[in-house]
Structure 1
Amino acid sequence: MKRHLYIFFCLVLLVSCDDGDIFTIDLDFEGELERCENDIDSYIIYDTRDSPNEALLLIIERDDANELLFTTPTITDVPTELTISETGETQFIFRSFNRALEDDELCDIIPPGDLVITDDDYADSGTVYVTTTVEDDDNDGLTNEYEGLSGEASADGIYWDSLDSDEDGIPDYIDQDDDNDNVLTIYEIDTDELDDDGNPTNILDTDEDGTPDYLDDDDDGDGVLTRLEDLSEDGQDPRAFDNYVTNTEGIDIYRYLYNYNDGVINANEEFEDTGFIYNIYTRSVTTSFIIENAGFEIISSDYIDFGTFENSFDITNEPEDED
């Protein structure tokens, strides 16, 4: 949906024509911001439009504090404030071009030869108010609310008071393996049986013990933990091909879901403990920018809703490889 960038009072040229007329500039941008990823010194956030061929750019120094603007939520109703100056750490630019911009060529270190900047105006003052919100999801097919999301988010954005079924220190809503059995939750629910809200209508309970498989660390009830019914070479994968057994009906089935043992088919052996898999969840971040009292040479504005920048990335508790 197109989002208009409204200026609550006219953006006015501070110069007049010979007849004394004052021009106004209508900054009707989408508000769906993009970011240059090839600048190691600054975050360059921008919005462009065609006819006229113009861009708004917000340049923010790249450092540890400003990185949080794109990764970590700000305190509710307390946005981060950045001070704009023409040559400082935060700059706001109104730029015009001789033609429409293509793709992300605004970020090119060496611009195309046929692209010419026809107007380049830097604000010499103003304040940027940055609000960052996050939404975390373990992508296991269950909604955060169904998995016991509760309490208030801490400074890092995590709802630590939420349900933690396996008591591993990772709340269920960001835990891709809620029972710590090394079988991901998404494989232990029937994803074909979810209602319109994303909640399961058919709970899988292989051993019919009243505990659904995704919360049961011994899915077949054979007395051997699911994660230990794994003889695969690398371990930590009860669903590996090595862990197939054939039941009495001649059907291949994972040994962690089959507790039959007649001396021929042994499906309740306990194998070496290779530890737990590392957890991964996705964080979706929305960073919104409001700019007040931006002073350009030719434009003066009390309030600009610059727009929002959205990105997402994976977070894991797996340690980084050390060289």
Structure 2
Amino acid sequence: MRQLIYICLIGLLALSCDDGDVFEVNLEFDQTLELCIDANAGDYLLYDTKTSPNESLSLLFPISGNEDIFNPPMTGFTETLGINNTSVIFNYRTYSGDPNGLICQVIPDPGTNIIEDYPAAAGASAEFTTLFDDDDNDGILSEFEGRGAQAADGSYPDAIDTDEDGIPDYIDQDDDNDNILTINENADPDGDGNPSDAVNTDLDFANGDDKPNYLDNDDDADGVLTINEDENSNSSLTDDFDELGPNPNTARYLNPDAAESFTAGVMEVNEYTRTFVISVMIMDANIGIANIDDIDMGTYTYSITLTEE
């Protein structure tokens, strides 16, 4: 006897089941996970849903002890939780309506009910891997910002700090301390995370150097630090021009003919965004209707704002 069972995720597998029957399991979720947090119960719930048919995969696990999954001390962080059907629970479910009308809803859709519920048997496990390739979301991957080798404690003791402000480049939103954020200095014009094509305004100027703008505290090589070319001292360098000079439409900090020095605006606090990508695998999943060696639930992506003084 053969049955066709649509249960979710990737690919079409022929699996032997406990009673000797063979099932074709079509795994077709989009693998983009959502998260809801029940602070009262102390639980995280990661889940994926689909309609036509109405199904979900979900993983419930405690908040306590697992916070590092969502904000780890280092990229490449891994964690494994044993599924025990008490505090850590994985379910495949089918519904009478759209699962999103029921999952994580304070007031559930009265027209949606769970039809079938298949929890993974104890003995399965959930494996998490958390990555963040651009620690400060400035458009340059951390590997190209001189982060260096990681120590056993998760730190980067040899990380480069171009502007010597105590904040290494890989978590510094303004790598040259000129009050222009790295992400706004054309550090990565082609968007591949590698600054090999970074803009260097003063390269062809008489006193120019080979430093790209995002690492150069004097972007036009006029002898006046970029931060001191803020004529109105409002901490924005893009609205200051030498209207009477030969280049009235070029901002002072990029204009070598505008060499007056002004009081610098207040330095911006180093506040940056870090984006995490959390991958979740369910290993040795026996969900009753099928034994599956592993289920790739997909990834959950989110960002947090951090501040370095």
Determine the structure 2 residue equivalent to 1:108: 105
1:10/1:159 Cα in 2 relative to 1: closer, same or farther (>3 Å)? farther
8 Å contact from structure 2 (residues 50, 99) kept in 1? no
Distance 2:108 2:195 in 1: 47
Distance 2:191 2:34 in 1: 36
How far off its partner does 1:179 sit? 0.8
How far off its partner does 1:80 sit? 1.9
1:313 aligns with 2:298: no
Q: Which runs of 5+ in 2 are unaligned?
A: 1-7
Structure possessing the higher relative contact order (Cα contacts under 8 Å, 6 or more residues apart)? 1
Determine the structure 2 residue equivalent to 1:301: 291
1:278 aligns with 2:242: no
Distance 1:74 1:191 in 2: 24
1:137-216 equivalence runs, <5 A: 137-152=135-150, 156=154, 159=156, 161-189=158-186, 199-200=196-197, 203-205=200-202, 208-210=207-209, 211-216=211-216
8 Å contact from structure 1 (residues 6, 304) kept in 2? no
What percentage of aligned pairs have identical amino acids? 29
Distance 1:106 1:67 in 2: 22
1:2-21 C-alpha deviation (Å, 9 max, x unpaired) = 95168795354x7xxxxxx8
1:227/1:311 Cα in 2 relative to 1: closer, same or farther (>3 Å)? same
Equivalent of 1:245 in 242, 245, 261:
242
8 Å contact from structure 1 (residues 70, 287) kept in 2? no
Distance 1:47 1:200 in 2: 39
1:147/1:123 Cα in 2 relative to 1: closer, same or farther (>3 Å)? closer
1:6-52 C-alpha deviation (Å, 9 max, x unpaired) = 8795354x7xxxxxx85747362426042233533321112334455
1:58 aligns with 2:64: no
Distance 1:254 1:170 in 2: 28
SS of equivalent residue, structure 1 residue 286: strand
- TM-score of the aligned structures, taking structure 1 as reference length: 0.72
Distance 2:241 2:16 in 1: 70
1:244-291 C-alpha deviation (Å, 9 max, x unpaired) = 322423623333334547xxxxx5233156234424143232322233
Distance 1:133 1:283 in 2: 9
SS of equivalent residue, structure 1 residue 237: coil
1:91 aligns with 2:97: no
1:143/1:81 Cα in 2 relative to 1: closer, same or farther (>3 Å)? closer
8 Å contact from structure 1 (residues 46, 57) kept in 2? yes
1:194-229 C-alpha deviation (Å, 9 max, x unpaired) = 899663175322754313332221234444432233
Letter paired with 2:215: L
